[in-house]
Amino acid sequence: MREGPAGPVCRAQRSRMPFLHGFRRITLEYQPLVDEILALLALQDAERQDTLESHACLGSNGSQLSAMRQVLEREAHSPFYQEGVSYTLLKVTELGLVEAAEVLLEFGAHLSFEDPVTYYTPLHIAVLRNQPDMVELLARHGADINRRDRIHESSPLDLASEEPERLPCLQRLLQLGADVNAADKTGKTALLHALLHCYCSSDVVQIHNTESIRLLLEGGADARATTEDGDTVFTYIIFLLGDIVLASTEEAEVQNRFCIRVMQLLMAHGANPSECPSLESFTYRCLQNFTCHFPLLRFLLESGAAYNCSLHGPSCWSGFQTVFDCLCSHVSILKDSSISTEVIQMGQTLLELMMASSQTIQLPSDFEVDVNSCRYHEEKIRTLFCSVKQLEHTPQALKHLCRVFIRQRLRPWPIDIKIKALPLPDRLKWYLLIDHAAVGHEDLSLTDDSPSPHSVVTVPPDSQQITALHPLSLQ
């Protein structure tokens, strides 16, 4: 007996707590056994493990495994045998030595043994080191594939979803039946882990990785999952929007492509980017700074995202109001006529995209624009506003309703490519397309080897009269 902090502690009590260990016990009690086994596998030098170019030959030949069995049989009744063999399992798991791990499991290594520093189990370590075959071996021997570590509350699936190089382990865990919607104590699922680490990555190349997100969604991940703090799948994508504003042109393009790809996946699995509150609405946040997020907005609107709050309508937040507010904010400080014209054209295109996405135009009851703040372009903004306001109270023309119907049937994005492939006269294609400035002379061939008789959209003479002063004349 010895006196502990809470009174007498006997050896029997200590034996029931085999995994509450520290460095002292490792060094003085079972490290000699660990060293002997690792020496047989040519792994004794711990500092050398990370510099070895290949571990495939280690611990895999018959003589090494036979010698290891002899040591394990000899030490089977030593006082700290189970801790020693279990700690050795952590080491061979790290290197993916499947055959050596099988021997250790055969001789009593514990699957729930925790690393004394990280408190990760062998399965956690196998995932961190991207060892899918080891993951399968451990699961086959009874490892809990949904177990969370004691420090970070991470499951093996959470860890696999955080880094693109761990994709093989993610696939294997899903195949083995890991719970794709299991959440930690804050409500964060593997899908939210994947999105969070896309945002946290400082490597622009890293955010190219969308395969983990795709696999999780196809495996049944809930795209509407919410944490206890209210974070959703859009929370982390919204963080990226701020990075896009500050990024270089090249980085912004990469991040925009990533956001579009992720949004495609999320929306295809039921995520709604236009819900409230507005600060959590991806569509609203893009509209607030449409000059930076125009490609994303075009994708959202052409994919069927609502331009108002999808739960409460324009009384909550309105796409039309937000675009005009942003437009006035930009042109009020722009003296360069070429830049201001580009911004106005961009705003006009967004307004047309919103109108072409629904048969009836929904505006807030108090829809007004302070054109007096638009010092240099007051008339242009007023004309644009009056055009939208007039359409709210005017029955929609049949051709507008047809355009809405056709564009809705061509969803999802990209709609323009599908319009260009339609066997229609150029004038009709021109009307169906929204961003006229970008399609004046593009090749519209149906296929690479099957040219269309209307392979190029020729701008109709009357269409050339569309200017910034009359951008929304749909009659």
Cα end-to-end distance, the chain, whole Å: 95
Q: What is the pLDDT of residues 84-115, one digit of tens each?
A: 899 999 999 999 999 999 999 999 999 999 99
Return the pLDDT at 12: 40
Distance, CA of 60 to CA of 461 (rounded, Å): 77
Question: Does the pLDDT at position 461 exceed 60?
Answer: no
Q: What is the pLDDT of residues 276-330, one digit of tens each?
A: 876 778 999 999 989 888 989 999 998 889 999 988 889 899 999 999 998 888 8
Name the residue type at position 459.
V
Q: Are 419 and 433 in contact (CB under 8 A)?
A: yes
Question: How many angstroms from the chain centroid is the CA of residue 426?
Answer: 39
User: Across the chain, what does the average pLDDT equal?
Assistant: 79
Q: What is the pLDDT of residues 11-41, one digit of tens each?
A: 443 344 444 445 555 556 778 888 888 888 8
Return the pLDDT at 201: 53
Q: Are 161 and 199 in contact (CB under 8 A)?
A: no
For residue 222, give every residue at least 6 positions away whose Cβ sits within 8 Å of its Cβ, in sequence order, or none.
181, 189, 191
More confident residue, 255 or 16: 255
Question: Does the pLDDT at position 59 exceed 70?
Answer: no
Distance, CA of 330 to CA of 324 (rounded, Å): 10
Question: How many angstroms from the chain centroid is the CA of residue 39?
Answer: 43
Domain boundaries, the chain: 1-49+56-117, 180-271, 409-465
Distance, CA of 111 to CA of 85 (rounded, Å): 11
Q: What are 433's two structure tokens?
A: 């397309």
Return the pLDDT at 282: 92
Provide the Cα torsion 233, 239, 242, 247; round to 10°: -100
Q: What are 183's two structure tokens?
A: 């959440």
Question: How many angstroms from the chain centroid is the CA of residue 293?
Answer: 17
Q: What are phi and psi of 308, to 5 degrees?
A: -120, 170
Return the pLDDT at 436: 54
CB < 8 Å & 24+ apart, contacts of 39-42: 40/64, 40/67, 40/68, 40/71, 41/68, 41/92, 41/97, 41/100
Name the residue type at position 467.
T
Q: Strand 313-318 to strand 308-309: parallel, antiparallel, or no bridges (unpaired)?
A: antiparallel
More confident residue, 474 or 60: 60
Could you tell me which residues are beta bridge partners of residue 160? none
Mean pLDDT of 146-156: 94
Tokens 């075009």, located at residue: 298
